[in-house]
Amino acid sequence: MGEALKPGAVIGILGGGQLGRMLSVAASRLGFKTCIYEPGGDCPASHVANFHFQKSYDDEAALRQFGESVDVITYEFENIPTSALDILEALAPIHPSRRALEVSQDRLVEKTFLRDLGLEVAPFANVESRDDMDAAVAKIGAPAILKTRRFGYDGKGQARLKSADDATAAWEAMEGAPAVLEGFVEFSCEISVIGARAQDGQVACFDPGENVHREGILHTTTVPANVPARLRTDAVLVAGRVLNALDYVGVLGVELFVTPAGLIVNEIAPRVHNSGHWTQNGCVIDQFEQHIRAVAGWPLGDGSRHSNAVMENLIGADMERVAALAAEVGAGLHLYGKAEAKPGRKMGHVNRISPKG
């Protein structure tokens, strides 16, 4: 396998949540060991990993020890402190690259990157001051949505503007954080593509799924997406373009709005993605294994879909439905081992499969 990691090698994973947990399981399937770096104790990923550094991201000695004890480093979230990456990159290869992180950590950089690539994005404007805000509203119009440039997820760090009158309230909701004003896009549905790129440049994408959100959090992903075949192809081509432009290694999630004028890229995530969880029960090789294969220098696996699938997230009190879900025919249940089912917290998901027909 050339420079591919051999079974027995150690894969370091930054972040110990459910994505790290499912990456660890996928790594074990290929005979790799995993080492989790996560400040929190009893974290989901540590339950199924060989090693757990329960250390802070500003503990330089711990970061150094971690970097020296792994053969490659990957991550399950995009907001890794730059200072930690500076230390780690001298010690082991990091996949996906820092360029992918830089692009996706900042909405302004991300939108600019996508636009410069010739992809369609919502109209946007940088907002770093109250004056910027007025200029942005004048340029973009309303309705619009103001989003913090960094650290937003699951609908957090966002404020909607129904009209220009909401500009002050929206700006104040950012609490001084740099933001981006995005024009409101009239879309019929959201789809996403989970793409993967190997170290030799090989690209493979899973079939696009159709996403439904509730209260800003992904609720279901349905595969195949109920959109014309032409748009499914377009979506895959968009993912391929982003993967190649970033010289990307690993799995990337691309969220797209379906509009009468075609696809508009909403955002990209340089990691395995919630909307790709269906692959665990719909494909021979799931997104987690695909990611591990890429970062380990292995060939990508066969991501073709053997079944149709609907993934449903289990959030907070949905855990009360576990007994019923466990008895459901055709349902694959995946729980994350989190102790407390807080409102809005992702506790697990269920993949319902049916024949491809």
List binding-site positions for ATP: 107, 147, 152-158, 182-185, 190, 213, 266-267
Considering beta carbons, is residue 111 or 338 the nearer one to a copy of itself?
Answer: 338
Rounded to a whole number of angstroms, the minimum distance from the CB of residue 141 to a copy of itself is 47
Q: Does 349 bind a copy of itself (CB under 8 A)?
A: no
Q: Does 293 bind a copy of itself (CB under 8 A)?
A: yes
State both tokens at 147: 């989003």
Among 41, 329, 343, 357, binds a copy of itself (CB under 8 A): 329
Tell me which residue has tokens 């494909």: 283
Considering beta carbons, is residue 189 or 333 the nearer one to a copy of itself?
Answer: 333
- ∠ at Cα 17 (236, 317), nearest 5°? 95
Phi/psi at 350 (5° precision): -130, 135
State both tokens at 181: 């004003």
Going residue by residue from 69 to 88, which x/- string records binding to a copy of itself, judged by CB under 8 A?
--------------------
Beta-strand relationship, 179-183 and 144-148: antiparallel
Among 299, 305, 316, 345, binds a copy of itself (CB under 8 A): 299
Find out whether 66 and 12 touch, Cβ atoms under 8 Å.
Answer: yes
Q: Which stretch binds a copy of itself (CB under 8 A): 120-128, 137-145, 180-188, 298-306?
A: 298-306
- ∠ at Cα 303 (299, 307), nearest 5°? 160
Considering beta carbons, is residue 28 or 54 the nearer one to a copy of itself?
Answer: 28
SS in 3 state form for 250-283? EEEEEEEEEECCEEEEEEEECCCCHHHCCHHHHE
Tell me which residue has tokens 């994408």: 205
**Interface residues with a copy of itself (CB under 8 A)?**
1, 4, 7-8, 21, 24-25, 28-33, 46-50, 281, 284-285, 293, 298-299, 301-302, 304, 306-307, 319, 322-323, 326-337, 339, 348, 351, 353, 355
